[in-house]
């Protein structure tokens, strides 16, 4: 087996679980550790530092972490037996929710770092080297962590850019308000500085991230007068940066979808016509039990307003089936909402209890076999809508941002404005460029296209 460690200096291996926010956080942790001499390893074997960046959203999330920690315990012992040292850190949402239990169950863990405190990693590593015992840092930090992080290095023509963290909505099924803290918005000048840095490195598309990204709000940038800005204002401002050709944002909440953002979707060409707007259920009774703060009618009318502003928009959503108290009639209401709205893509899950959330203690928990049956019906409907949306793209001429080489020689893979994967025969020189493509066909998970004649000539 080849040695995954860098040739010089120390090495860190980061395993990322869950959401795009965690992917972003892992990138920042790697950047934060680079000045300390840590190169990124491809595997945990032989690494000087292993970080598990955890997610508490998916079912059995904590169990997966403890399973990985068991394997790491053996690797740590092997390294110590050979005269070396391996530090193990647990970061992210499981760290925030279960910090004391982690140190009790897994004494091989050296550091437990909540998602609001990973900018303190260098300090914590130094402290761990100087003293024995557990090192916990999971309190929600008062200071703005965004401004304490290292400048990122771009990796390709697309990049995530966190603008907001935390959640104040307290949906009864969700642990995010407890593990990520209250909603915090990053200031405009810091966001613009990072976006300019990414653009200078060749990034063409930025995706603005937040647990409730459209709750973002901040004062205008330095030198600009006016009222507080919302996400629509921020998108318009970022669109002025040379080099940035595409802007996306995720994940949005229906309660924070304001007029300014809807208008920006309709007016700003660099904002891609794709919106992920979770609804979770189509029954008002279940939405109320979930503490979503909106009704099915409100959501459907909101979608109508968005489509009036941006008729070509592709919609994505999240759905939970089998929430406590959900009857067959409630589930049928969800299917009816899906039929009414029509989705280009969606994520759907069976409800699973999250310790400490109100939903976990609710009566009338739905039987597992009933959840599975309902999920199968919902996913079948959603998949038929996805395939129908993709089929409608045949013959369309779409701008595609090529991101990487395909598996076949001479093939490039990019993304359409609607976030679909597009496979095209094109010269490697087009990597990182937005190119007009005619869609010729559909595969189960992608579109197949060809360069337009004028694009072929330019090649």
Tens digit of pLDDT for each residue in 168-185? Answer: 899 999 988 888 888 999
> Is the predicted pLDDT of residue 248 greater than 60, yes or no?
yes
Let me know how many helices (H) and strands (E) the chain has, helices first: 13, 21
Distance from C-alpha of 319 to C-alpha of 305, rounded to nearest angstrom: 21
Average pLDDT, whole number, for the chain?
90
Instruction: Write out pLDDT tens, residues 49-60.
Output: 999 999 877 667
Model confidence band, residue 151 (pLDDT cutoffs 50, 70, 90)? low
> Which pLDDT score, from 0 to 100, does residue 115 have?
86
Backbone angles phi, psi at 139, to 5 degrees: -70, 145
How far CA 25 is from CA of 22, 78, 93, 140, in Å, comes to: 5, 29, 11, 16
* Residues sharing a CB contact under 8 Å with residue 16, sequence separation 6 or more, in sequence order: 22, 23, 26, 53
HSE-CB at 325 with a 13 A cutoff on CA atoms is: 16
pTM listed for this prediction: 0.84
Instruction: Write out pLDDT tens, residues 430-456.
Output: 999 999 999 999 999 999 999 986 755
Model confidence band, residue 2 (pLDDT cutoffs 50, 70, 90)? very low
């Amino acid at each position: 087996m080849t040695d995954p460690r860098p040739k010089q200096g120390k090495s860190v291996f980061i395993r990322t679980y869950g959401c795009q926010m965690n992917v972003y956080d892992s990138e920042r942790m790697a950047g934060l550790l680079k000045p300390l001499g840590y190169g990124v390893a491809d595997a945990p074997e032989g690494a000087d530092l292993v970080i598990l960046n955890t997610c508490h959203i998916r079912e059995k999330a904590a169990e997966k972490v403890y399973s990985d920690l068991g394997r790491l315990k053996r690797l740590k012992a092997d390294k110590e037996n050979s005269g070396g040292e391996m530090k193990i850190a647990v970061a992210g949402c499981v760290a925030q929710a279960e910090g004391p239990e982690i140190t009790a169950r897994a004494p091989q863990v050296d550091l437990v770092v909540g998602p609001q405190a990973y900018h303190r990693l260098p300090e914590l590593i130094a402290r761990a080297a100087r003293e024995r015992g557990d090192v916990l840092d999971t309190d929600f930090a008062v200071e703005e962590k965004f401004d304490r992080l290292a400048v990122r290095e771009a990796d390709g023509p697309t990049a995530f850019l966190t603008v907001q963290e935390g959640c104040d909505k307290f949906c009864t099924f969700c642990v995010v308000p407890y593990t990520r803290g209250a909603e915090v918005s990053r200031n405009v000048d810091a966001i613009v500085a990072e976006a300019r840095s990414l653009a200078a490195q060749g990034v063409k598309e930025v995706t603005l991230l937040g647990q409730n990204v459209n709750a973002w709000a901040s004062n205008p940038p330095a030198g600009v007068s006016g009222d507080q800005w919302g996400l629509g204002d921020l998108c318009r401002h970022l669109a002025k940066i040379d080099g940035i050709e595409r802007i996306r944002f995720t994940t949005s909440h229906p309660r924070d979808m304001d007029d300014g953002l809807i208008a920006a979707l309709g007016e700003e060409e660099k904002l891609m016509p794709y919106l992920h707007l979770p609804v979770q259920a189509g029954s008002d009774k279940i939405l109320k039990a979930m503490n979503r703060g909106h009704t099915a009618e409100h959501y459907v009318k909101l979608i109508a307003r968005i489509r009036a502003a941006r008729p070509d928009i592709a919609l994505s959503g999240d759905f939970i089936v089998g929430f406590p108290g959900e009857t067959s009639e409630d589930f049928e209401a969800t299917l009816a909402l899906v039929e009414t709205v029509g989705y280009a893509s969606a994520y759907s899950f069976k409800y699973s209890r999250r310790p400490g959330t109100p939903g976990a203690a609710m009566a009338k928990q739905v039987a597992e076999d009933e959840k599975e049956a309902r999920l199968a019906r919902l996913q079948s409907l959603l998949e038929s809508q996805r395939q129908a949306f993709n089929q409608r793209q045949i013959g369309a001429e779409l701008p595609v941002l090529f991101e990487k080489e395909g598996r076949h020689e001479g093939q490039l893979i990019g993304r359409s404005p609607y976030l679909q994967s597009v496979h095209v025969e094109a010269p490697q020189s087009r990597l990182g460029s937005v190119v007009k493509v005619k869609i010729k066909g559909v595969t189960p998970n992608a579109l197949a296209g060809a360069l337009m004649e004028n694009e072929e000539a330019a090649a």
